[in-house]
Amino acid sequence: MVENCNAPCCVNCETRWDNFNNLNEDDLNYVCENRHIAEFQPGEIIFKQGAPISSAVFLTKGIAKMYIEGFDNKRMIIGIAKQNKLIAGPGTYVDERHHYTVSALTDVTACFIKMDVLKGFVHTNGKFAEGWLKDISEKSLKTFYRFLSHTQKKMHGRLAETILYLADEVHGSDQFTMLLSRQELGELSGMAKESVVRILKDFNEDKIIDDKCPYIKILNKDRLKMISNMG
């Protein structure tokens, strides 16, 4: 982890949290003063499940995986963190503990902002409070639907969904470098790593994707969507 104190101010930040649009320039400068920036290398832990939440975390560069360490040392990856999003999770207003671990998948620059500062705005700025409610609600809904799909879809559907998630929500492209191992893909889609391998092979043979080691390309997105929807 490397400190870096020469980052531009939040006022003009391109990668800041959407909800910061509800703050004025003075507010943003105040945020800036209570901020702390650090860099991480792939594999490094940004924060750890169970640790107290002192700061809100935002990524300004790179992506990270968020995972719960569950029973039996099994992990469940709940999503990929990226810029413009608050990464601090639902513990903030419950027990002030992180409920999942976040670790860098690429080189990551992360911005830590004292949680007390953000909590303060909730008291004085209704729009900001509303924005935060909206933020949590959206995440909650997403968790919901991932839950539903895990409960009701079979493996092919879940993996198709995961590939679409990576393409659409994480990389914004149908062709990207796969940063997750088979093990991690399994943790994200709820199956054993061997199952991931076999299903990717199926998708390859059916020319739905082209999976050449570190690169993956979606060849037949409609088909992939159909598989995802039908389970």
Partner DNA sequence: TTTAAGCATTGATATTTATCAATACGCAGG
Partner DNA sequence: CCTGCGTATTGATAAATATCAATGCTTAAA
Compute the least distance from the CB of residue 191 to a second copy, in Å: 9
Question: Could you tell me which of 135, 143, 138, 169 has the C-alpha nearest to residue 56?
Answer: 135
| CB of 24 or CB of 143, closer to a second copy | 143
127 near a second copy (CB under 8 A): yes
Give me the residues that bind DNA (CB under 7 A), please. 154-156, 181-183, 190-195, 197-198, 200-201, 211, 213
Compute the least distance from the CB of residue 47 to a second copy, in Å: 16
Compute the least distance from the CB of residue 36 to DNA, in Å: 30
Residue 127 binding partner per list DNA, a second copy, none, with a CB distance cut-off of 5 to 8 Å that depends on partner kind: a second copy
193 near a second copy (CB under 8 A): no
190 near a second copy (CB under 8 A): yes
Which residues would be at the binding site for a second copy (CB under 8 A)?
68, 70-72, 74, 76, 78, 90-94, 99, 119, 122-124, 126-127, 129-130, 132-134, 136-141, 143-144, 146-148, 150-153, 190, 229-231
